[in-house]
Each structure stands twice: as C-alpha cells, then as structure tokens.
Chain A
C-alpha cells in the first residue's frame, strides 16, 4: 500500500476562479524523497498543504477528489494523530515559531500531544543533540539568526517523531551556508532514518540531486513526474527551466546522459576538454579580469562609504570599518551570511541610520549632514517584503502616492512605469488582489516612479520563480546600462553571478571581498554558482550560463567528442 494516494484532487481557494490544484492523481511510497518544483502559482504550496491535511479545513474553499494517507481519508483523520505522522516546515520561520524560548518551542508540539513529562524531556534532549542546538538551548527565539530559527522549526517538528516531512521552501530565506546545513539534515533524515520527504523548492541547484523523484507542476497540474534524471531530460526537451544549471548546460550538448551534480558535470567536462592547453587558458582568464575594470575609474561615485562603524544601541557591533566605493552605472550584488550587516548597511545608505564613525556619501552628498528627503528622491529602496509598501486601494494610487510625497507634478511617469512592469491592465485593481509576483512589481514601480539614480533592493528574488527572476535581472541590467546605479543584497548566488557586474562579500560586519564578480564569486567555495563550481580548475573564469556556453561549446563542436568515452555513462 502506498503511503499517500491522491485521487483526482481538485481544489479552489475561497473566492478563486482558477483551480489551485486540478485533477491531481499521485501515489507516494514510503521513504521517498520527492522534490516539487514549478513557477509561482503553479500549485506547489497547495499540494503540500493538501498532503499535510490542511486543505480545505484551515482555508475553506471547494475541494474535489480524495487524499488517502495510509489508506485512510486524510480529512477523516484526527488532527492530533495526523500531527504525529506528518510534520510540516514552512517557508518563513518567523511565522511558525510560537514560543519565546528554544526549549519551550521544541516541547510545544509534544505538550499538545499530551505526552508524559519524562518522555518529553527525553525527546527534547535527543532532538537538541541531533540538531546541534546545545548552545542555543536556553536562548530566546527572538534573538536567533534566520538559519538557527529554521533549524529550530525543523527540530520542533522532528521532536514529534513524524514519518513524513513536508517542507515548503525551507531554505528560501537562508544564506547558502545555512541552507546547505538544513538540506544536509533533511538528506540524512531521509537516508539514515527513513523519513519520507516532500520538499518544495525553486532554487534547484542545491537540492535537485537529493531527490529520488521530481514533480514539476504547471497551472495546478503535474506536468512531469519521474526520477530526477528522467524529469530533467523531459523538462529540457519541453524547454521548461526547472533543471539545475549543470543539467541545463549539458542539455545544449549532445550527451548520452544528463549530469545533475557538480561532480558528474566535472567528470563529463573533463572527458570533453582534458586536452585543453593550460597556458592558453590562463591568458583567457587574465583578459577576462582586465576587461571588467578598464572603464570604471573615470565615473563619478554614486555611493561612497568610508571607514564606517556602527553599533546598535544595546551593544552589538554590526558594521566594522566598512569602505565601499560604488560608481554610477554599476550593478553590485552584496552577499554574505544572515546577520553579516548587509541590511544594516542598506539602512545607512537610505539614511535610516547614522554611522557612529565614518562617512556615508550618496550621490555626492553626505547623508549625515544633508536632509534625507533630497537624497531619497533620487534613491529607490525596495525592502524584502513588497507588502511593506502597499496600502492604497488601486495600483495607480500607489505610484501617485510616491510622486505626491516628493511634490512631483508630472504624472506621465505613472503610465510609463505601469506599461514597463506589465501592470497597465491592473491600474484600477486593488494591489491586495494581485499575486505575490505582481505585488512585487507594483512595489518596485512605486519606488521607481521618481526616476531615481540609485536603486537599492533587499532580497528581491526571495520566493520569486525562475522566469520572474530573469525578468527582474534583465530589467536591472538595463537600468545600469542607462547609467543608474543598482545595489542588490541577496543570498541568491546564481542571480548575482548571472546579472550583477560586481560582487561584495560581507562577513560579521566586515567587507572581506570586493571586486568584479568573476574575481569574487569565482574564488568562493560556498558563494559561487554551480557552473563555476563545475568549471573550476578545468576552465577557469566561467560564471554564467552564457559564458560557459560561449567558451566550452566551441571546444566540443559537433558533439562527436564524448559519445563513447568511458566513465561518462551513468
């Protein structure tokens, strides 16, 4: 008997016209590791909620079809019994932590189940040990970092000893190192402890290979279902972007099988170009590095931070001697762990905070001395959550509000921005009725309507699917080409590598690396995109998809190179 059996599941959220899930039939066996991917609004999260038994009881709406768990209708099951079987970890740890202290949080579920105190003590101790939480055992949940919070959320679910783990984009808010940490744990749980794992994820580069089986969703239906390799192949054939970069790269070459991991990719790449001349290669790298900085010096500074120190009242030193000089027209990505001081630095740039020591100059003015309003008129700042902005009744009003704040009379920019962000048909629609991707575009349009010279974005790719991400990346590149300065704080290494020109890495309040993206991201172990990891040492200086294509495809022209090579078959 399969663990889950889903029969013709169709689901409409309350007041929705389109089905979130339509006619899904699916079987899930015990111990499987299933990855669910697809664009925003494709029904991934709804499927996860259905499997956790949350739909439709917690939401309302109309449902058709059935979900059976261990042969029983999930809707008829007792909530507590189900909680013992199926654990769910959500995207935002902030929205699932209930208690003020770490231990109390882990125990919360156990208390609800009514376990004996002795059993509770044992389980909490065990989970704390397994998850390596000893050091924060007595800490306040409010003081934890994002990574620790997500780990705690996972720990609290594990303490209940479920057999199934449903994870809804568990790493979308985490830096690459913390994300790796969580994913490794999940992998161990699946492999060593036999958990059935159902994970939803958009950033495939770090989890695709972990899954036994991949489901690609499209418009509420399952478009592809099969082993990771099989789905990769058929997704490539159909031109769907939901494959890891390594697989996408090799899809353009005639190869007998699609590699999914960096390891497999390197092996295959070596077999193609092992006879490349190393001397020639080095020259290539030099030329590449030189080309980037050649035209930079003559430009004016858009942002100049000099020996910036900052401590929050309360004691923590967040910025330590930070100096960065960003020229007009540059596209800079700032990366680093959660809590490295990136957001604090942005708050300095937008004049929300003043430095303790050092100077902050934005567009030639000292932020500390001048009125912020003048600087803000030329600066667009988009925070992590587009919902921070939206409060008007129509999309148009959101844009007009910004114009009014700055006393700008010319309303023609509104039409232009709406057109640009494909929002014209939503002009009179309430922003709250739009999808999350559309809401983000409204927020962006509302900060860009003043035609600012400096664009600052905090985590703009969080929870944004592949297609919208590419759209945003290209848009920002165009803005930079027009001479505007773009600064993006992000955990998304692939995004930074693909679209930015320069990268800055921060760790515990200091800038540890700053330069052209090839220089910074090419050298990093964790903060480097998958293709760079694949090409390192074989064909240095490759960071983006197009670079890999331009440099490596010619070397393997005709595809005749590798067909029968030993060691490539998988």
Chain B
C-alpha cells in the first residue's frame, strides 16, 4: 500500500504496524500521536495512550509499561529527549526493550525549532542503540526493525529522523501490510517482567559489583545487537524488498575519496557524489545508519580501499571535533591492519543551517587539494 505521508505520519504507521501496546507521549509530538491514535481507534486494538506533562514523564511511563511486559512506543525531540537522560539509563540498565523515535533537533538556547543531531548523539553512552534515518520510508521500516532488535537483545533503541527538513515533508511511502509485518515481528515476550505470579524487582539500587556486571553485560548485548541488527535488516529486505544495511556504500566501487555521513545530510551528499562521478572523479559515499552499536568492522572494510576519507559531521563535540569523525577515526586505527587513509573532518550546517550542495562540493574540493588532514576541525559555511 503506497501513501503520500509526511515523515511524522510515517512514524505513526511504523508504530502502528509494530502493534505497539502502550503509547506514552507529551505535547510536542502531537501529530505523531494523533495519527497513531486515529489508527489505533479505527482498529480497536485497545492500545493504551498515556498523556503526561513532559518527556521525562513520558519515558517514565514507557519504562514502567515495558517492565510490565508491554511493547512501548514513545516520541521525543531535542529539548524533550534531554530530560529523559536519567530514564535512558534506567531503561538500558534494566534491559527494557523500549523504542523511542527522536525527531532530531538542535540544542539551541532559544527553543526547539532547528534541525540537528546533538540531542541523540549526546546520548550515545546511555546504552541505547541508535538508528539515523534518511527518509520517511526508512524511518517507518527502521521502527519495525528496531522493535525486533530491541526485544531480541533486551536493549532500548532510538530511531532518529531530522526535524523540519524531513519530518514535515510529504513523500510517497510504501506501507507493508500487517500480516507480513506480523510474520517479521513476533509479539513481545519478556522473561523478566513485573508479574505478580513471579515477583521480581526492577531497577533496584544495587551493589557496585552488581552494577559493574550490568554494564559488562550491556556491552556484550551491544555486540550481539550488531549481528541481530544486520540479520534484522537482511530479513526485512528479503520480506519487503527494502534493505538499508547498517552502513550503506554508495558508489564506493573504486572510489579514492569516500565521504562519510549520516542522517538527512546523506541526500545532499548523494547528489554531489553523483555529480562528481559524472565528472569522472572517483568519489563515493558511506552512510552510517546505525550509530550505536557502532559498526566499526563494516566501516573499516568499506573504507579499506579509499585513499582519503572525508567525514561530514552535522554536530560537533566542542573542544574535540566532529562526533562521527571521532568514531570513524578510532574505528580505522583501532585494530590491525590499520588503514592508511587520510581522514578529514568537516563540520557543516550546525543548528539547522542550510547544507547546500556547494558546501559538500567544498568538502570534496578541500579533500582533493590536500594530502594530509590538519589537526583542527574544518568548519564550512560558518559566519566568522
């Protein structure tokens, strides 16, 4: 079934097809929840909606419901994801399969309108897996995949889509039918949950040694999540004809320079790569879809033949550099054989500033001119 949907509506459909049971939400994401409510009401599934005053509260509701064994859906964005911070740990260390859709927004002092990825990237250490999506279609598909991964490895996940740029754009979306989705995504069955017939406690303040162990097991689960995610995407591809991979190699064949990026920037970069290829320049694109757990092995192999790598970051960690840049560099040099490629880091279009193709063009030009990267971060399109 194909429909013209805004990205927000795509989110609603994704959650709806995943048969979510408890929806915890607060006001800023009303469009998604409204659409979802409409869908659920028509369907008479009896999904429970809990409307609360803040996102912290929303995730608290979600965590509670998930601990009781329900499939939970929550939405957040920037200034509303950040108050969840404590609860993010609560969910991950309690190993609750909560899925949060984050409408990516920049952290700016004046409010919550512009696009940016810092809200989700800043939470990379909370133990949640993170998908950064490029399009409405991908968002909807990823939500369904995220539930499967989450419930298999017992880790919560964030599905990220860019605010404004993507969320309000209307695009055709192919909605899979419910039967096939049900075949792909089995009902949520947790072994440990709040069950009066098998009483256990959740999220107890425990001894340091037990907490240490929890972190160790979470890290192990992250390792497993990588494989599970790969398999989930493969299966999805086989069933619905759409696979995305954890990373996507776009025209990397024989590429000397590979641009690495994530999220909605990818669309623009893709176009620039096409232009470059049309001019006969050996430029490719590597899109990082799964940011946590970071698919270092896949990235290493994708970049193994490249001479130069340009990482285009939409966010910066002040005092260090581009966030994706750090991750890519460290994954290239972590194990032998260490790759010899020169890795350039660029910061573009922070806080929703426009990332026009000419900025990406500058990236390509800059990388082509220089043999070795500089120490400092390269800011493009910034007003100095």
A binds B: no
Please report A residues at the B interface, Cβ cutoff 8 Å: none
- Give chain B's interface residues, CB within 8 Å of chain A: none
